[in-house]
Structure 1
Amino acid sequence: MTWDEINNLQLEDILQWPVKTKLIAAVILVILIGAGVWFFFISPENEKYEALHSQVADLKEQVRNKQLLAANLPAYQAQIQEMNHRFLSFLQQLPDRSQIPSLLDNVTLAGRSRGLDFNLFQPLPEVDKNFYAEIPVKISVTGTYDDLGRFAAAVAAMPRIVTLGDITLKPIAEAPNTSIGQALKPQRLQMSCVVTTYRYLADSKTGNAK
């Protein structure tokens, strides 16, 4: 069939068209209907399906994550309880305000009982650290290396938390002595440091101490 023949076809004469022409026209009509159905009905539904499929995948991932969290929840709760227990144990090692003077007296006693001489014992301003406060005391002591070591060990072994910081050591110049006893005598040192203890603040906003 030529193009001229196609142009000469009339819709009202459709029943008289050749069979081949009818078949071609039917195929074209089916293609046009199929294309219309695809673009106006199937394609939008496919897009909705893909969007819903993606949402389902995301929801499944969220469910898996929540199931994993739920499975680990007892372990997390046990860890929190252990942390709370350790925190309470730590707080019990912090002296309250009424215990500070006796604690500092114990630090002095620990030094003197180990042969140290105190040259300086100067309380410094309290330092607020949110939920606790640092109570520093600057000290200067003299003694042998062994005496200073035993003093540091005694401070570390105290039931309340006490730390030594900003430590400086220097030898003490002594007058020369030719006697054998003086020559064998251990070198005396001067140690300057900051002794710090800590006080728990029950109310970090108001500063009221426990």
Structure 2
Amino acid sequence: MTWDEINNLQLDDLMRLPLKTKAIIAAIIIVLLGAVAWFWFISPENDKYNDLQAQVETLKGQVRQKQLLAADLPAYQAQILEMKHRFQRFLEQLPDRAQIPSLLDDVTLAGRSRGLEFTLFQPLPEVNKNFYAEIPVKINVTGTYGDIGRFAAAVAAMPRIVTINDISITPSASASGTAPLDKALAAQKLEMSCVATTYRYIEAKVEQTEVRK
């Protein structure tokens, strides 16, 4: 059958075709219709379905992550609360501006009550360290090795934080220049120079909050 004959086929001619030929033609028509349906309708919808399925899996993953976070939330909140309590206890060990003079008096008293003689007590400029400030004081004292040790222990035991740095200990000028250093440490007067530093919490943000209240 030529192409012209196919083009000139009439319905009656198709009806007279053999059953096998009719079946082949019907199969071809079904395949063509199926291909058209697939490319024009089914395939785009299938792509949309796959996209939606991928979005669903992504959302499920996000939900699982948030569920895990939600399950750990009480533990995180407890840790944050504990950190806040520790930070508050730390801040309570830092004197405020009004307490600095009395704290420095306590340092002086701790030295004198243990037999030390202060030859220099010189407050140095305050050093800003972001949320806190260092308040150093240069100190020169004279006393025995035991007196100096008891003074250092007393300062360390203070409820407020005070550190002693840049320590230098030498025999006193009044001691014999020929005396061995070990004997000077045991019985004779020594001179110690150091920097005692306390720390002040900078409460700018806290003060602003209190003003708004």
- TM-score scaled by length of structure 2: 0.76
Q: Per the alignment, in what secondary structure is the counterpart of residue 9 of structure 1?
A: helix
Residue 97 (structure 2) pairs with residue 97 (structure 1): yes
Q: Per the alignment, in what secondary structure is the counterpart of residue 158 of structure 1?
A: coil
Equivalent residue number for residue 9 of structure 1: 5
- Written as runs of structure 1 = structure 2, the 5 A alignment for 1:59-138 is 59-138=59-138
Structure-2 change in CA distance of 1:36 and 1:183 (3 Å): closer
Instruction: Give the Cα–Cα distance (whole angstroms) in 2 for the partners of residues 193 and 9 of structure 1.
Output: 117
Structure 2 portions without partners, runs of 5+ = 209-213
4+ aligned runs moved over 6 Å, structure 1: none
Residue 204 (structure 2) pairs with residue 203 (structure 1): yes
- What's the CA shift string for 1:146-193, capped at 9, x where partnerless? 44333322211101111223x243533741159xxx689457655433
Count of paired positions: 199
Instruction: Give the Cα–Cα distance (whole angstroms) in 2 for the partners of residues 19 and 25 of structure 1.
Output: 10
Structure 1 portions without partners, runs of 5+ = none
Post-superposition shift, 1:14? 2.6
Equivalent residue number for residue 171 of structure 1: 170
- What's the CA shift string for 1:134-156, capped at 9, x where partnerless? 21112233455544333322211
Which sits farther off after the overlay, 94-103 or 188-197?
188-197
Instruction: Give the Cα–Cα distance (whole angstroms) in 1 for the partners of residues 143 and 73 of structure 2.
Output: 55
Q: What code does the residue aligned with 1:171 have? A: T
- Written as runs of structure 1 = structure 2, the 5 A alignment for 1:133-172 is 133-165=133-165, 167-172=166-171
Instruction: Give the Cα–Cα distance (whole angstroms) in 1 for the partners of residues 132 and 83 of structure 2.
Output: 18
* Aligned residues with identical type, % of pairs: 64
Equivalent residue number for residue 51 of structure 1: 51
Superposed CA RMSD in Å reads 3.0
Residue 194 (structure 2) pairs with residue 193 (structure 1): yes
Residue 26 (structure 2) pairs with residue 30 (structure 1): no
Instruction: Give the Cα–Cα distance (whole angstroms) in 2 for the partners of residues 107 and 46 of structure 1.
Output: 82
- TM-score scaled by length of structure 1: 0.77
Instruction: Give the Cα–Cα distance (whole angstroms) in 1 for the partners of residues 116 and 54 of structure 2.
Output: 76
Q: Is the Cα–Cα contact under 8 Å of residues 171 and 187 in structure 1 kept in the other structure?
A: no
